[in-house]
Amino acid sequence: MLSPELLADLRQLAEEQERAGWSEPGRGCEAAWALMARAGVLGWVIPERFGGSDLPAPEVMAGYEQLAAANLCATFVLTQFNAAAARIAECDNEDLKARSLPGMAAGRTTATVGISHLTTSRRHTGRPMVRAEPAFGTGWTGHRLTGTLPWCTNAGFADLILVGAERPDGRQLLAVINGTDDPAVQDHACPELLALSASRTAEVTLDGVDVPDTDLVAGPVEEVMRQGAGGTGSVGTSALAVGHAAGSLRGLVAEAEKRPELGETLEPLQRERAKLSADIQTIAAASSPEELPEGLNAQTVRARANSLCLRSAQAYLTASKGAGFVAGHPAGRFVREAMFFQVWSCPAPVAAAALREFACGL
The rounded mean pLDDT for the chain is 91
CB 202 within 8 A of CB 188: yes
Helix, strand, or coil (residue 148): strand
Per DSSP, the three-state class of 184 is coil
Query: Looking at residues 212-233, what average pLDDT do you find?
Result: 80
Average pLDDT, stretch 295-320? 95
31 and 74 assigned to the same domain: yes
- In a domain, residue 214? The reply is yes
Residue 282, pLDDT score: 96
Shared-domain flag, residues 67 and 89: yes
pLDDT (0 to 100) of residue 342: 93
Sign of CA dihedral 89, 91, 92, 93: negative
* 78 and 157 co-located in one domain: no
| Mean pLDDT, residues 215-240 | 82
Q: Which of 224, 248, 276 is the endpoint of a domain? A: 224
Per-residue CA distances from 94 to 49, 164, 215, 216 (Å): 12, 19, 10, 11
Domain boundary among 185, 206, 224: 224
Query: What's the confidence (pLDDT) of residue 118?
Result: 85
Provide the whole-model pTM.
0.93
Q: State residue 125's pLDDT score.
A: 56
270 and 213 co-located in one domain: no
What is residue 24's predicted lDDT score, i.e. its pLDDT? 53
Using H for helix, E for strand and C for coil, what is the string for 295-337? CCCHHHHHHHHHHHHHHHHHHHHHHHHHHHCCCCCHHHHHHHH
pLDDT of 26 reads 46
Confidence of residue 181 (pLDDT cuts 50, 70, 90): confident
- pLDDT per residue as tens digits for the range 13-43: 998 876 644 445 446 789 999 999 999 999 9
What span, in angstroms and rounded, lies between the C-alpha atoms of 130 and 150? Answer: 10
pLDDT given at position 27 = 60
Domain membership flag for residue 362: no
Question: Is the pLDDT assigned to residue 232 strictly greater than 60?
Answer: no
Q: Half-sphere exposure (CA, 13 Å, Cβ side) for 169?
A: 7
* Domain limit, last residue, from 224, 249, 281: 224
Do residue 202 and residue 286 come from a single domain? no
- What range does the domain containing 125 cover? 112-224
Alpha carbon distances (Å) from 11 to 14, 310, 319: 5, 19, 20
**Mean of the pLDDT values across residues 101-126?**
83
Share of residues in the chain with pLDDT > 90 (%): 74
302: nearest Cα among 233, 251, 358: 233
> Does one domain contain both 219 and 125?
yes
Same domain, 276 and 295: yes
Which CB contacts under 8 angstroms, 24+ apart, belong to 336-339?
336/194, 336/195, 337/72, 337/73, 337/195, 337/196, 337/244, 337/313, 338/244, 338/248, 338/309, 338/310, 338/312, 338/313, 338/314, 339/194, 339/195, 339/310
Whichever domain contains 290, its CATH number is 1.20.140.10
Q: Verify that 100 and 33 share a domain, yes or no.
A: yes
Q: How confident is the model at residue 105 (pLDDT cuts 50, 70, 90)?
A: very high
**Number of domains observed in the structure of the chain:** 3
More confident residue, 331 or 139: 331
Confidence of residue 85 (pLDDT cuts 50, 70, 90): very high
pLDDT at 233 (0 to 100):
44
Residue 229, sorted as left (phi over 0), alpha (psi -120 to 50) or beta, turns out to be: left
At 117 the pLDDT is 85
Please give the average per-residue pLDDT across 224-250, as a whole number: 84
Q: Is residue 338 part of a domain?
A: yes
User: Burial, 347: exposed, middle or buried (Cβ in 10 Å; 0-12, 13-18, 19+)?
Assistant: middle
Whether 359 maps to a domain, the answer reads: no
What CATH number has the domain bearing residue 172?
2.40.110.10
Question: Whose CA is closest to 64, among 223, 269, 284?
Answer: 284
Helices (H), the chain: 4-16, 30-38, 57-70, 72-90, 94-106, 233-258, 263-285, 298-324, 330-340, 348-358
Read off the pLDDT band of 239 (50, 70, 90): very high
Q: Which residues pair with 173 in a beta bridge?
A: 165
The top-scoring range by mean pLDDT among 66-80, 106-120, 132-146 is: 66-80
